[in-house]
Amino acid sequence: MTADVEFLQHNRITLALHRLADAPGRPLLLLHGLGERTPDAVPPWVRWPGPVYGLDFTGHGGSTVPTGGGYTSEILVGDADAAIGRLGEVTLLGRGLGAYIGLLVAAARPDRVRGVVLTDGPGLAGGGVHPGSPSLPHPGPHAVAPPDPFALLELSRDVRPPDYAQTFARFVTESSPLDTPLFVTAMVRPEWLVAVLAEPGVGQGTVAEGLAGYAGLD
Amino acid sequence: MNDDEHEATYPGARRPDRRRTVDSTGLSLSVAEWGDPDAPPLVLAHGGFDFAETLNVFAPLLAEGGWRVVSWDQRGHGDSDRAGLYSWEADLRDAASVLDSVGPGPVVFAGHSKGGSLMMHLANALPHRVSALVNLDGLPSRGAMSDVAEHERTRMLRRELEAWLDHRRTLVGRARRPGTPEELAARRGRMNPRLDPAWLRYLVSVGATRSDDGWRWKIDPTMRLGGFGPWRPEWSMLRLPGVGAPFLGVLGLELELMGWGTRPVDVEPFLPPGAEFVALEGVGHFVHIEQPRRVAGLVLDFLADVGA
Interface of B with A (CB under 8 A): 24-27, 75, 81-87, 89-90, 92-94, 96, 121-122, 124-126, 154, 157-158, 161-162, 164-165, 168-169, 171-172, 222, 227-230, 232, 235, 238-239
**CATH for B68:** 3.40.50.1820
pLDDT digits (tens, 9 = 90+) for B115-161: 999 999 999 999 999 999 999 999 998 765 545 555 566 666 778 88
Paired with A113 in beta bridges are A90
Higher pLDDT, B296 or A142: B296
Task: Measure in Å the smallest separation between the Cα of B257 and chain A Cα atoms.
Answer: 24
User: Would you say residue B2 has pLDDT above 70?
Assistant: no
CA-based nearest residue to A128, from B151, B91, B235:
B235
- Work out the burial of residue B127: count CB atoms within 10 Å of its CB; fewer than 13 is exposed, 13-18 middle, 19 or more buried: middle
What amino acid occupies position B245? A
Contacts of B92 in chain A (CB under 8 A): 136
Q: Considering the domain boundaries, does residue B161 fall inside one? A: no
Q: Considering the domain boundaries, does residue B189 fall inside one? A: no
Query: Residue B18 has what pLDDT?
Result: 98
Query: Residue B1 has what pLDDT?
Result: 45
pLDDT < 50 positions in chain A: none
| Residue B88: domain span | 18-146+231-306
Q: Which residues contact A170 (CB under 8 A, 6 or more apart)?
A: A199, B154
Complex ipTM = 0.93
SS3 at position B18: strand
- Residues of chain B above pLDDT 90, percent: 81
Q: Considering the domain boundaries, does residue B165 fall inside one? A: no
Task: Measure in Å the smallest separation between the Cα of B25 and chain A Cα atoms.
Answer: 5
Q: Which residues contact A147 (CB under 8 A, 6 or more apart)?
A: A34, A35, A36, A37, A59, A60, A61
Enumerate domains of chain A plus CATH numbers: 5-131+141-215 (3.40.50.1820)
Query: Residue B230 has what pLDDT?
Result: 87
Task: Measure in Å the smallest separation between the Cα of A208 and chain B Cα atoms.
Answer: 31
pLDDT digits (tens, 9 = 90+) for B169-217: 999 989 999 999 999 999 999 989 999 999 999 999 999 999 999 999 9
SS3 at position A173: helix
Q: Which residue of B has its CA nearest to A140?
A: B25
Q: Using H for helix, E for strand and C for coil, what is the string for A30-51?
A: EECCCCCCCCCCCCCCCCCCCC
- Find out whether B26 and B81 touch, Cβ atoms under 8 Å: no
Q: Considering the domain boundaries, does residue B218 fall inside one? A: no
**Alpha-carbon distance B276 to B270, whole Å?**
12
The total of structural domains in chain B comes to: 1
Query: Residue B224 has what pLDDT?
Result: 86
User: The pTM is what?
Assistant: 0.94
Alpha carbon of B254 to those of B260, B263, B282: distances in Å? 10, 10, 6
SS3 at position A148: coil
- Work out the burial of residue B136: count CB atoms within 10 Å of its CB; fewer than 13 is exposed, 13-18 middle, 19 or more buried: buried
- Residues of chain B above pLDDT 70, percent: 94
What amino acid occupies position B95? A
Q: Considering the domain boundaries, does residue B48 fall inside one? A: yes
Q: Which residue of A has its CA nearest to B174?
A: A11
Q: How many CA atoms lie within 13 A of A21 on its CB side?
A: 20
Arithmetic mean of pLDDT, B264-273: 96
Q: Considering the domain boundaries, does residue B188 fall inside one? A: no
Query: Residue A134 has what pLDDT?
Result: 85
Q: Do A70 and B86 touch (CB under 8 A)?
A: yes
Mutate to test the interface with B, among A100, A113, A136, A173 (most CBs of B within 10 A): A136
